[in-house]
Structure 1
C-alpha cells in the first residue's frame, strides 16, 4: 500500500532542454575517490552536489574542476561538509548555516533556458537521539522556508535523513508544494548499502511546477553507505 503508488502516476514530460543532476553522499570516511570520478565520467551530469565532504575529498575531487569549473566547497567537521560542481555558470552560489546546528546548506541560482532557477542542497543531521531528531526536523523546516522564498523554479535535494514516509518529510513536501522526483519511478532505496535488503529512500530531490522529470534512478556504488541519485529534468 505504501510502495505501489510510487510506481505509477508519472508526470508527463514537457518539451524543453534537459538538465542532469547528480547527488551523492560520499561518506566522509570513504577513500575511494576514483569510484566517484568513474561514476561522473559515466553519467556526465551537468551539476554535481556532494555531501559529507572532507579535506581529503576536496583533494580527491580536485580534478573535477577541469570539466566543472563553477564550484563551491564548504568543508566542515565530521559529516557535514558540502560541495557543488557545475559545467554551467551560476548567477550566484553560497552556503547558509541552517538552524539549529549551523550545518551548511548550498543555495545556487542560475539562468536556465532564459528563466531563473534556484537549487538548494541540504543535509540535516541523523535523528538517532531526541536532540538530533528535533534538530533534523528544524533544519527540514528551515529549508522548506528557504524554498518558499524562491521566485522562479526551484530544485531541493540532499540526504534528508528521513524516508518517504516520515511525517516531517511529508510536512516539508506539503508546505512547499514541491513534487518528489521519484513519483512514477519507484521508491529507489538509497541507504544503507551494507544492508541491501533493508535499504530505505532517504536521499531526495523535489521540484517545483514547470519542471518535469525525464528520469531518476540510483547510480553505481562508490564505496559510500549511500547510493547516488541521478536525476534528469526537463525545464
Structure 2
C-alpha cells in the first residue's frame, strides 16, 4: 500500500514545518528556516502524488492530505514575497540623474578560493562605486589591492578565520569604524559614504557567524549582531539614509531576518522581484538567499543582479540604488509591534552587546 509511504513523507514535512516555530536557538532547529523553498517543492510533489495514487475512501488519506496542504500553504507564505507574484516593496528608479545613483557589489569570496582574477574581472566589468568582500585574508587583500588606484578609499580587515572583510570605494568615506560587536574575531564595518550629489549615506557591513555544528550550536551570536544593528538604525530614525549589507548567514525569509526588517524599518529590494539565491553556488538544488542589502526609504532601485560564479561557494550580488526621497517616502516595509520589540530585546540580551556599542556614523 502507498498510504503508509505518503503518511511517512507527510509526517516528515509536518515536522520540518513545525520545528522553526520553536524559539529555541539551537542550530538544528534554526537551520530549518533555510530550505523553505525546497520543502514547498517536496510538499507540492507529495500532494500531487496523493491526489493521483491514493483513493478517497480512507479517512486517513483525507487527514494527511489536509496536513500536507496546510504545510504547503504555510511554506509558500514565507517565500512568495520573494517572487514576481508579490507587489514590489521598493519602487523602480525613474530618476536618471547619475549624481544620485551608485552601485554596490558584495562578494563572499570563500577564503581558500584562488580565482581572484575572476572577481576582479567582474568588478572591472560592472564598475561598482563600492565593493565589499567577505572571507578575505592577506592573500586576497594583496590581489585586490591592484584596484587601489580606482578605489582610493578603503577599510581593510584581513583575517585568516574566514571572517576577513574589506570595503573598497570610489566615493569618499567618513567617520568609519571597524568593530567587533559580539565576538572578538568577527568584524563589522560602519561608515558614511558621500554620494556625488553630496548626500551622506550611513552604511553597515556585517558577516555574523551562523548556527551550525562547525560554528556555533546556537544562533544567539548571529541574532544579537543583526538585531543590535537593526535597533541602532531604528532608534536613530531614518533622517539619514541607511544601508545594511553583507552575508548575514540567514535567509531572507527567516524569522530573524524578518524581525531585523521590522526593528530597523529598512526595505528589501528583492520583495516582488525574486529570491536571488546566492548560496550554495555549486549546488542548484540547495540554494537560498544569504547575501543581503537592505536600505532606507530614501532610495529606489535602479538594478539588482546576481553575478556569475567565480569559484566561491557564493554568487556575488550587484545592486544599484538611486537617491530619490520624493518617491521613496511612499515606500513601506514591515512594522514592528510590542511583541517584536520584546523579542529583539531578548535576543540582544543573550549576548554581551548593547545598542550603544554600535558605531553610528554621523552626517
TM-score range, shorter chain: over 0.9
Q: Is 1:117 matched with 2:201?
A: yes
Please report the TM-score for the alignment, with normalisation by the length of structure 2: 0.62
Query: Does residue 4 of structure 1 match 2:4?
Result: no
Q: Which has the higher helix share?
A: 2
C-alpha separation in 1, matches of 2:160 and 2:210: 15
The counterpart of 1:182, out of the listed 258, 270, 273, is 270
Tell me whether 1:105 sits opposite 2:188 in the alignment.
yes
Q: Which residue of 1 aligns with 2:233?
A: 147
SS of the residue corresponding to residue 214 of structure 1 reads strand
How far apart are the structure 1 equivalents of 2:113 and 2:299? 33
Matched with 1:133 is: 219
Change (3 A) 1:139 1:101: farther
Q: Aligned with 1:19: secondary structure? A: strand
Given that 1:92 and 1:110 are in contact with CA atoms closer than 8 Å, whether structure 2 keeps it comes out as no
Instruction: Decide whether aligned partners of structure 1 residues 101 and 91 sit closer, same or farther in structure 2, where only a CA change above 3 A counts.
Output: closer
3-state secondary structure, aligned to 1:196? coil
Is the contact made by 1:93 and 1:109 (CA closer than 8 Å) also made in structure 2? yes
The CA distance in 1 between the partners of 2:218 and 2:228, in whole Å, is: 15
Indicate if the aligned counterparts of 1:115 and 1:152 stay in contact, CA closer than 8 A: no
Work out which structure has the larger RCO, using CA pairs closer than 8 Å and 6 or more positions apart in sequence. 1
For residue 128 of structure 1, report the CA deviation from its aligned partner.
Answer: 0.4
SS at match of 1:119: strand
What is the CA-CA distance between 1:213 and the residue it aligns to? 1.1
Find runs of 4+ consecutive structure 1 residues off by over 6 angstroms.
none
2:133 corresponds to 1:50: yes
Aligned length: 235
CA distance in 1, matches of 2:156, 2:292: 20
Comparing 35-44 with 99-108, greater Cα deviation is found at 99-108
Structure (1 or 2) with the larger CA radius of gyration: 2
| Separation (CA, whole Å) in 1 of partners of 2:136 and 2:185 | 16
- 1:73 matched to which residue of 2? 156
Query: SS in structure 2 opposite 1:49?
Result: strand
Give the deviation of 1:98 after TM superposition: 1.6
Q: Which one has the bigger strand percentage?
A: 1
Aligned equivalent of 1:91, options 164, 168, 174: 174
In the alignment, is residue 24 of structure 1 matched against residue 107 of structure 2? yes
Counterpart Cα distance in 2 of 1:138 and 1:176: 13
Query: Please, which of 33, 40, 43 is the counterpart of residue 116 of structure 2?
Result: 33
Paired position in structure 2 for 1:198:
286
Larger deviation, residues 122-131 vs 172-181? 122-131
For normalisation by structure 1, the TM-score amounts to 0.94
Contact 2:191/2:202 (<8 A) preserved: yes
Q: Which runs of 5+ in 1 are unaligned?
A: none
Deviation digits for residues 178-225 of structure 1 (CA, Å, limit 9, x no counterpart): 001212320110001121122000110000011111111110111100
Tell me the CA shift for residue 119 of structure 1: 1.1
Contact 1:188–1:217 (Cα < 8 Å) also in 2: yes
Partner of 2:322: 234
C-alpha contact (below 8 Å) 1:191/1:227 kept by paired residues? yes
Contact 1:189/1:201 (CA < 8 Å) preserved in 2? yes
**Offset of residue 9 of structure 1:** 2.1
Kindly indicate whether the alpha-carbon contact (under 8 Å) linking 1:125 and 1:132 is maintained by their aligned counterparts in 2.
no
Unaligned runs of 5+ in 2: 1-75, 324-363
Query: C-alpha offsets along residues 43-90 of structure 1, whole Å, 9 cap, x if unaligned?
Result: 110100111111110111110101111111012231111000011111
